[in-house]
Structure 1
Amino acid sequence: MWRTKVRRRLSRSVVLGAVTALLALSLGAPSAGAAPPPGSPPPITPAPQSATVRADSVTLTGAVTLVAGERSDRAAVQVTERALKDAGVRRIVRADGPRSGRLTVWVGGPTEQQASATALRALGLDGPSGLPEGGHVLGIGAGRIVLSGVDATGTYYAAQSLKQVLDGGSHPGRKLRGLEVRDWPATPIRGVIEGFYGFPWSHEARLDQLDFYGAHKMNIYVYSPKDDPYLREKWREPYPADQLARIKELVDRARERHVEFTYALSPGLSVCYSSDADAEALTDKFRTLWDIGVRTFAVPLDDISYTDWNCPADEERWGTGGGAAGAAQAHLLNRVNKDFIAAHEGAEPLQMVPTEYYDVKETPYKKALREQLDKDVLVEWTGVGVVAPTMSVAEAKQARSVFGHPILTWDNYPVNDYVPGRLLLGPFTGREAGLAEQLAGITANPMVQPYASKLALHTVADYTWNDRAYDPAASWKSALRELAGGEGRTADALEWFADASHESALDPRPAPRLAASVEKFWRDGDAARLDRDLAAFGRAPAVLRAHLPEQGFLDDAAPWLDAAEAWAAADRTALDMLTAARSGETARAWKLRQKLPRLLAHASSFTVDVLDGRKVRALVAEGVADTFADEATAAFDRLLGVPGRPKAGSDLGTHQSNAPARMTDGDDLTYYWSDGAPGPGDAVTLDLRSVRELGTVTLAMGTPGSPEDYLHKGVLEYSADGKDWKELEAFTGREEVTVTAPEGTEARYLRARASAAQENWLAVREFGISGRVAEVTGGPAAAEGSSLASAADGDPGTLYRAARAPEADESLTVTLESARELTSLTVLQPEGHAVAATVEVHGEEGWRPVGEVARPFDRLDVKGGADAVRLRWRAGGAAPQIAEVIPG
């Protein structure tokens, strides 16, 4: 029973912790390379607590003798036999002892057979006695291999380690270096809780996951999908026979893989805590699961109100407030613990998720649970925060103290139900070494996409088994290799793709590998190298679709694979555009710039279905791929001589896909949204890309759904260099701020800075300026959705589209913001829509012709001062379209 196991394991973990720490110093993490250095142990994941290479070796003979007792774990024997055959062994003969000329393999520890003890002594090795559950010894040398677990699960884990040691190809006669592995888990309970909101996993995916957990030495699966109605809304109702049969198949598969199937029933939406009938309904539901083999049960009471009772009797009995809710929940859980758990021999300790599951603050609710809930109930906790960026030993100790119960973490990584447009494919990180010793166990909440979850769950398994030797980067590399089937090109393609979905609350770095390549380009200008990297990123989806063994991953990741391919194409075009512009091929660069918006729109077009019927955009390398295209465009615009669209930024994080760029997209319905409340000094910023006259500054905050999400007290400031800031205006209690700067005020940077702490987050719909710009007059009149001003607004991405063809003597006039000396005049027209016009400039002597334009890109030489430019259209023909008139 886990009631005994947890207590014993936790006490042992304290004793073994010092040993583990010393071993971790010498072992380190498994190498991320293809082969270990000479003399080092072969890579095994999770990293063993102790692994030492011996001086002897064994030879994989064509026939192998396998010694297993009647009680030897069947699954361990099956894994061992499969691993031997995959390594080239042609025949496996069962016997009660070794046979001359053959390699002999013993499977089973002292609880399964006695022969392995003799075999270990022949190797000079101690047995597994004294190790925690799941502990084991794997010995290789002197013509024998011995797998000896402290229990059947330990032997199964030893077989999983042997499988990795033998994974060197099918070569009969291959020699294996001698090896001594003495291993055990750092924490008693390690696994996964299917507890997300969204499409529940398919039955086939769950079976596959259970196989994966067993192979990675995880020992618990918690069945708690939020959208299984029989767990929540219909919790009192029995399962239909066909659904119950499927759950039984999961229970049986879990047992075969040494995984504890945990059934988590969530009655909180409608339960009456004081009702005998509801308590009986809960235990009756548990009983139907007991009858199909479930032995571990949980009652999650998360994501409910504990201030609104579901029945008047509860308020009459307990009153109101958090303390009352804690007392009521303790009452119900204690009844379940007494009437069901204690009454069923072999039942594991009851688990519960408290309504306050995300912090370590002392509250009346936690006090009630601490004092009134039975002490052997395991309390689940997400860390400090629903999705905790970090988790420390000190926080775990606080949690254990404030709840007064053993703590089982519900770690919300890599779950993505709150960011359904993202895959979270980076490694498990931010968890302190030594944390496992403070906990009854660690469970991770995975993504809606089961097969794509395996990358992160591989790293979770490595951490929970041996947190002191855990290296996130090495573990992640190991996960990539495993999912790629060990093939190098496929693993590299998978790394490029996973890198684009690396960012998470645990590690906010977007696409680190791609970002490093882009940053290097901005430093050294090596376009060929960046193009090679972008090409590798762009090829990755095709390589994966052709070679990745895991079809489920490809199905899960389909929209993100499509988006990655499209973003790479867009970024390569942006790079080509900038390279052409820098080498003087400006006309070609302009052609590419016009192509780029379509590519960017395509890259942003891939969507993911959400259970509520919505479609959300599949986000890939956000903040890197999109930013590079934006920065390359801005660099080209500067070469043309126009400022382009301002670049928005924020000191705060971003909630879901509401990125800072939405502050400058000209659409009041979109907005930047922070992922937390601003504190003093936090700011949103604009880079105007060049020093410009400010004119009128507009800051529009808040949204219809969140009207209080604005800077309640702040200040608008400007700067020429981003260092020396000057105040433009302070404001309080205004969600919309409009300020006209004194005439002649110039700056490159603007920011809206919080000057006080607040509780609400920050949403910014639009942030921009309307300074002195050229005035555009004449005709033809602009078509609907366009404007004359777009012909000279400093942004080639906007377009003046005439509503009709020009008439005789009709012209378009651009009056400059001030008279100045000109050396050139550039006129940009859309590819395929260029029309002919005579260009004239106005100076002290009046209007004078300077040339003709009739192509998408025309640059004319101009000498002398001017205060206006005029395009005199040829009558008839197509309606003119002008992207930008640029005096230079």
Structure 2
Amino acid sequence: MHRTRTAAATALAMALAVLPLTGMSGPPGTGHDRAPDGARTRPLAAAAPSLSPTPRSVQRRSDRVTLTPSVTVVAGPKADAGALSVVEAALADAGAQHVVRAGRAPGGGQLAVYVDGAGADRALAELGARGPGGLPAEGYALAVGEGRIALSGKDATGTYYAAQTLRQLLPHRARPGAQVAGTRIRDWPATPLRGVIEGFYGTPWSHEARLDQLDFYGAHKMNLYVYSPKDDAYLREKWRDPYPAERLAQLKELVDRARQRHVEFTYALSPGLSVCYSSDADLKALTAKFQTLWDIGVRTFAVPLDDISYTDWNCAADKDRFGTGGGAAGAAQAYLLNRVQREFIAAHPGAGPLQMVPTEYSDVQPSPYKKALAAQLDPKVLVEWTGVGVIAPTMTVRQAQQAREVFGHPILTWDNYPVNDYVTNRLLLGPFHGREKGLPEQLAGITANPMIQPAASKLALYTVADYAWNDTAYDARASWGAAIEELAGGDARTARALRAFADTGYASALNPQQAPELAAAIAEFTAGGPARRLDAVLQTLEDAPAVLRDRLPDRGFVRDSAPWLDAAHAWGIAARTALRLIEATRAGDGARAWQLRQRIPELMRTAQSFVYVDMRGKKVPVLVADGVLDTFVDDAVAAHDQALGITGRPRASTDLSVYQDNAPSRMTDGEDATYFWSGAAPRAGSVVGLDLRAERPLGPVTLAMGKSDSPEDYLHQGVLEYSSDRTHWRQLAAFDGKAEVRAVPPAGTKARYVRARATRAQDNWLVVREFTVSGAEQATVAGGPPAAGGSALRSAGDGDPATVYRAARAPQPGEALEFTPSAPRTARSVVVLRPRGAPGPAARIEVRTGGVWRTLGTLSGAYTRLAAGGGAIEAVRLAWRDPSAVPEVNEVILH
């Protein structure tokens, strides 16, 4: 017995019948300024902010309805069972103690809720609300007032969605008596299909997570779930093989849950790795696999042909039949899909339109492949498209029109957001963004590809649901805030913690700015704002993981985010320590500043130590607010360097994306085994650069690129350039085909900025192991004791307090460490920095002026600052006095 077609499939079929293959007719906004039946809508600003997706029309009445202890639900004869369950649960959550169903309202002041049928139509009319007549599929009407509530859908799914809106209108109360404002709502979706395609590579979702996702989709008026996980071998490598009984039973449970939530379960089989398009046997295997899914209730099917090669046939028969090239591949795919459409879909009444993903899925450029699909593929087949780019930063009405034109079929977007299988070190927690208003009208639907982390995906998916239902009212930031409030369960403290944490994962291809709220707080402080305000923001971030672990209702979100929560806590500590370093530096408290400065490297190591372990056991260091928190800490250290009168380590930067945790700072860490690694191939004009933090003489510049297991990952053609203002650049050297580049500037050259710029595009990514600029003015360090292995005497005077001279032994009688600047310098003081907690031997601090040594004082703890007196200092000497302790010195500074 065939199941009747779902509302989602019916809506899609209607859309395919009316969607033109050119631009929509009528003036812009026509479809949004009026309801489909011509009724005018109220301004969307009138909508309650708690309603999501935002309804098309919300009108406030002047009265209120009271939640009575007993409530009667008057259901029409065909009222949707799922809708009735949602209504009754919402009434109970609002404080109703007895919720009963009856054929008529009891009277006597008791609240009645009418769900579909003649009673609902009559109540809607009496409350001044129009029924759902004239609305598209899944539209609904809802009214609250005069002691009753009425809701009615265009179809069963519309009624279910009306119930979900009522659930949001009603309060959460432990007892009756709550009042609900009188309201009239008339609502319908912007596009027929709205949902999620589980199509990522990586750690699979659990069965329980998929069930939870289906509940989430139904609650947010998403009506489509495409089952296409790359981890399911029975979809790809083993596509011909039947599912084991236990796996099939799990799929049936998903199909049943989807039906209950008014979500169309689409099964996507991907045979492209091995299919012979012309083979009767393979067609039989494919349709037989579909039949097993049909038998458990699946009614919508897809054949993705993405991420395969169409230049190599899987069988000689295809080459003989179709020829070679893109046009031949399009013809072969159309041939197979047309047979599936004709011999399976059309032969199963109630089946939804067949969906397919083309091999060329990410652009709108005409090609022989697309031409063949447009001309030969059955017009009933729905084509999926990712936009212009695999991960499209923006998507416009015109691009969608072009996609319809070039493919010659209605378009369902496969939007690769918030998917993170290509950046597994990140959670993408920002909103759906960059999609033009009016886009949904051009489409058969919108599906979003989620993250490997299912529960953490809900923040972004909430905003996708908002946009897909009502794009004209969509505001990305407002929707994001509402998503946070919902996931926090309405608890203010939890919401603050979740917002602080989500802000650290805001950036993506769709949302270029990382951590916008944290970055704004840092910018305010940098511009002169009070430290206490920034400290409060950082304290919230530091505490957020513990708050979320203790209070967030969605435990899956906590499990998904565990290493990122740990990293956020650690970064909060590191950033607050950096803030205190800035305060101590500004206050001139050198000892306190040095004490804090020495804590930062270990805090940074801790913050960078947390990992995500993928399905293959690979440990991937996670990132939170990268480019914001790490830059703030780095700037605090640089400010301390400046206060000490040294330049410190250069800051590295790039305009290229970063692969995993291989950050630009690794170009300047002094370790050849670590490296910056780009996440994309350089274009002409791509740069990696150094900020030397002050204009200074330039010594030799060295650029070490590539690595042993990817030796071609270097700039194959480029130039080295320098500048004092980052605006006017002068060429230092050109290079071509060299992974190791060294250039010596002309004598007297000064600059603050040095960069390597690509002068042509290339296919290989970029690895930079070390990017160094030697200074023309170098201090020398001599004497003893000799340095231990892995250390060097010069570390005591290299201008970088992060490096340490560690002696190999205790000093011998008369032994001293002598620091000589490149030229005599007049200084107010001599500063000696030593590791905290390392007492080291006692020493006299002596300076030589006019060829004569004089004693300034003795070393005292980790931070010693002594007035230098008059005259140009020619050298500084630490004359060791304790033969029992091993010396350690971070830096000797003339300041």
Whether TM-score is above 0.5 comes out as: yes
Number of the residue aligned with 2:533: 529
Deviation at 1:150, TM superposition (A): 0.6
Number of the residue aligned with 1:153: 157
Check conservation: 1:106, 1:146, Cα contact below 8 A.
Answer: yes
Residue 830 in 1 paired to residue 835 in 2?
yes
Correspondence 1:420-499 to 2 at 5 A: 420-499=424-503
Which residue of 633, 636, 639 maps to 1:632?
636
Which residue of 4, 11, 22 maps to 2:33?
22
Deviations along 1:531-577, whole A, 9 cap, x unmatched?
Answer: 11111111111111221111111111111111111101111111112
Check conservation: 2:71, 2:110, Cα contact below 8 A.
Answer: yes
Deviation at 1:140, TM superposition (A): 1.5
Number of the residue aligned with 2:729: 725
For 2:799, the aligned partner's letter is G
Check conservation: 2:164, 2:219, Cα contact below 8 A.
Answer: yes
For 1:869, the aligned partner's letter is V
**Stretch moving more, 249-258 or 50-59:** 50-59
Which residue of 491, 495, 511 maps to 2:515?
511
The TM-score, its normalising length taken from structure 2, stands at 0.94
CA distance in 1, matches of 2:671, 2:682: 24
Check conservation: 2:706, 2:714, Cα contact below 8 A.
Answer: yes
CA distance in 1, matches of 2:397, 2:175: 46
Residue 99 in 1 paired to residue 106 in 2?
yes
CA distance in 1, matches of 2:200, 2:297: 24
Correspondence 1:588-737 to 2 at 5 A: 588-737=592-741
Residue 64 in 1 paired to residue 68 in 2?
no
Q: Judging changes above 3 Å, is the alpha-carbon distance between structure 1 residues 266 and 549 closer, same or farther for their aligned structure 2 residues?
A: same
For 1:210, the aligned partner's letter is L
For 1:514, the aligned partner's letter is L
Number of the residue aligned with 1:763: 767
3-state secondary structure, aligned to 1:860? strand
CA distance in 1, matches of 2:42, 2:661: 41
**Stretch moving more, 15-24 or 412-421:** 15-24
Which residue of 819, 843, 854 maps to 1:848?
854
CA distance in 1, matches of 2:670, 2:318: 53
Number of the residue aligned with 1:36: none
Correspondence 1:95-494 to 2 at 5 A: 95-103=102-110, 105-109=112-116, 113-167=117-171, 169-170=173-174, 172-494=176-498
Number of the residue aligned with 1:885: 892
3-state secondary structure, aligned to 2:197? strand
3-state secondary structure, aligned to 2:446? strand
Check conservation: 2:67, 2:111, Cα contact below 8 A.
Answer: no
CA distance in 2, matches of 1:23, 1:815: 81
Residue 870 in 1 paired to residue 877 in 2?
yes
Length, aligned pairs only: 877
CA distance in 1, matches of 2:680, 2:401: 26
Which residue of 55, 60, 73 maps to 2:80?
73
Residue 793 in 1 paired to residue 793 in 2?
no
3-state secondary structure, aligned to 1:53? strand
3-state secondary structure, aligned to 1:114? helix
**Stretch moving more, 787-796 or 725-734:** 725-734
Check conservation: 2:620, 2:660, Cα contact below 8 A.
Answer: no
Deviation at 1:785, TM superposition (A): 1.4
**Stretch moving more, 583-592 or 435-444:** 583-592
Q: Judging changes above 3 Å, is the alpha-carbon distance between structure 1 residues 28 and 675 closer, same or farther for their aligned structure 2 residues?
A: farther
In structure 2, runs of 5+ residues without a counterpart are none
Identity %: 61
3-state secondary structure, aligned to 1:380? strand
Deviation at 1:136, TM superposition (A): 0.5
Deviation at 1:704, TM superposition (A): 4.2
Deviations along 1:644-679, whole A, 9 cap, x unmatched?
Answer: 110112233334433222221223333334444444
CA distance in 2, matches of 1:108, 1:320: 59
Deviations along 1:621-662, whole A, 9 cap, x unmatched?
Answer: 111111111100110111111111101122333344332222
For 1:856, the aligned partner's letter is A
Deviations along 1:208-244, whole A, 9 cap, x unmatched?
Answer: 1111100000001111110111111111111111111
**Stretch moving more, 422-431 or 299-308:** 299-308
Number of the residue aligned with 1:33: none
Deviation at 1:18, TM superposition (A): 4.0
Check conservation: 1:64, 1:102, Cα contact below 8 A.
Answer: no
For 2:32, the aligned partner's letter is A
For 1:127, the aligned partner's letter is G
Q: Judging changes above 3 Å, is the alpha-carbon distance between structure 1 residues 402 and 716 closer, same or farther for their aligned structure 2 residues?
A: same
Check conservation: 2:667, 2:675, Cα contact below 8 A.
Answer: yes
**Stretch moving more, 763-772 or 557-566:** 763-772
3-state secondary structure, aligned to 2:234? coil
Deviation at 1:330, TM superposition (A): 1.4
Check conservation: 2:191, 2:444, Cα contact below 8 A.
Answer: yes
3-state secondary structure, aligned to 1:230? helix
Number of the residue aligned with 1:34: none
For 2:336, the aligned partner's letter is L
Deviations along 1:836-873, whole A, 9 cap, x unmatched?
Answer: 22223334324333322142111122232233222222
Deviations along 1:113-164, whole A, 9 cap, x unmatched?
Answer: 3332222222233221221111111111222211110100000000000011
Q: Judging changes above 3 Å, is the alpha-carbon distance between structure 1 residues 101 and 53 closer, same or farther for their aligned structure 2 residues?
A: same
Check conservation: 1:569, 1:599, Cα contact below 8 A.
Answer: yes
Q: Judging changes above 3 Å, is the alpha-carbon distance between structure 1 residues 554 and 84 closer, same or farther for their aligned structure 2 residues?
A: same
3-state secondary structure, aligned to 2:414? strand
Number of the residue aligned with 2:583: 579
CA distance in 1, matches of 2:202, 2:49: 40
Deviation at 1:108, TM superposition (A): 4.1
3-state secondary structure, aligned to 2:573? helix
Deviation at 1:705, TM superposition (A): 4.8
For 1:196, the aligned partner's letter is F
Check conservation: 1:421, 1:616, Cα contact below 8 A.
Answer: yes
Check conservation: 1:698, 1:768, Cα contact below 8 A.
Answer: yes
CA distance in 1, matches of 2:328, 2:670: 50
For 1:824, the aligned partner's letter is S
Q: Judging changes above 3 Å, is the alpha-carbon distance between structure 1 residues 660 and 102 closer, same or farther for their aligned structure 2 residues?
A: same
CA distance in 2, matches of 1:749, 1:207: 54
3-state secondary structure, aligned to 1:576? helix
Deviation at 1:680, TM superposition (A): 4.6
CA distance in 1, matches of 2:50, 2:691: 49
CA distance in 1, matches of 2:155, 2:650: 65
RMSD: 2.1
